[in-house]
Structures are given as C-alpha cells and as structure tokens.
Amino acid sequence: MKLLGIGSRIEHSTYGKGVVTNVTAKHYWVTFLENGLETIDIDSEFEIIEAVEDEVDSVSFYEVEKSLKEILQKWSDVTQISPIADRWKGGKLIIEPKDTTLASKEIPIDTFFHKIVLVRDRIRVMEQKINSSKTLDDQDKIDLQQYITRIYGSLTTFNVLFKLKSDQFVGSRSK
C-alpha cells in the first residue's frame, strides 16, 4: 500500500470527494466537499482521484488553520480573543468621585477589559489600513504610525489586565 501525500484527492463511499490535509501514522485527515473534516484510517476503502507524493509532513491541518486565523485577524476587523489575567476574572472596577455625596460606579472588570481589547483591535485595523493605503505617501504613513505608537504607549497602563504578554500594548521604547 502506497501512502498518499497532503493534497491528494480521493472519493470515499460515505463522505464523497475530498482532499488529504494531514497524514499521521494511522490516519488521513481529509476535508470533504460535503462533509467537512473527517479522519479516516489509512487502510480505509476509497478511490484515489489524484495522488500526491512526498508531501506527507509538509503542512498539517493545524498549521493551515493557524495561518488562516492569522490572515483573517490581520486583514479584517474580527476581534482576537485575548484572555484576561486570572486574578481579575469576575472582579469589578469601582470608580469613586472625590465628592462622597455622589454615587460611585461599579463596572464588571470583564466588561471593561472587553472594551480595552476592542480599542486595541480597532487601532490595529487602523494601523493596517494606513500601512496599506495607496493614497498616503510614505512620510504621511510614518507620521500617522508615530501617533499610533504614542496611542499604544498611553494604553500600557491597562497591560496589567492581560493574561498573555503578547496581547499587551507596546509603545515606543526609550533607547
């Protein structure tokens, strides 16, 4: 029995036509046109429409999915999921005025954190639109990028809320 490579096209009696997207020691991961992703045994019965050789470990379904998510996050305004630091989960933000006769305001910290993440993601989208603009000249792009960097720097106070350092705001660093 010859092992099929990633990209091979098959037709399975139950799932229909599909493309091999990953190969393990015992299974093919196949994305079928009608049935989506299915894992089938390597020795399953199916018809080979087109075999690809020497492409067994080059790209896994996980890597394809990860790359697709990164592309969508980079070029759309889809909000990336950023976890809040564990110590803040379920907490609340209390805003108290100096005048004690006035009412204080309580906000669930998860709600506040979500708003911060939305601001961050919208700034990222604006940054991408500036960088890919065909109408702005290079100097205008540099000037606007410097403003964005300063905005990120102003928001670094909120980094304490983020669980992952990679999700935090980064402004310009001093040399």
As beta bridge partners, residue 12 has: 16, 46
The residue among 116, 135, 112 whose CA lies nearest residue 124 is 116
Q: Assess contact for 19 and 4: CB atoms under 8 A.
A: no
User: CA 149, CA 141: separation in Å to the nearest integer?
Assistant: 12
As beta bridge partners, residue 94 has: 106
Q: Helices in the chain by DSSP H: which ranges?
A: 61-75, 109-131, 138-154
Q: Assess contact for 122 and 77: CB atoms under 8 A.
A: yes
- Each of the 175 residues of the chain gets a pLDDT tens digit; together they read 578 888 889 999 999 999 988 888 788 899 998 888 899 998 899 999 998 876 555 455 666 777 776 776 666 655 567 788 888 899 999 999 999 999 999 999 999 988 888 888 888 888 888 988 899 999 999 999 899 988 888 888 888 888 888 888 887 655 4
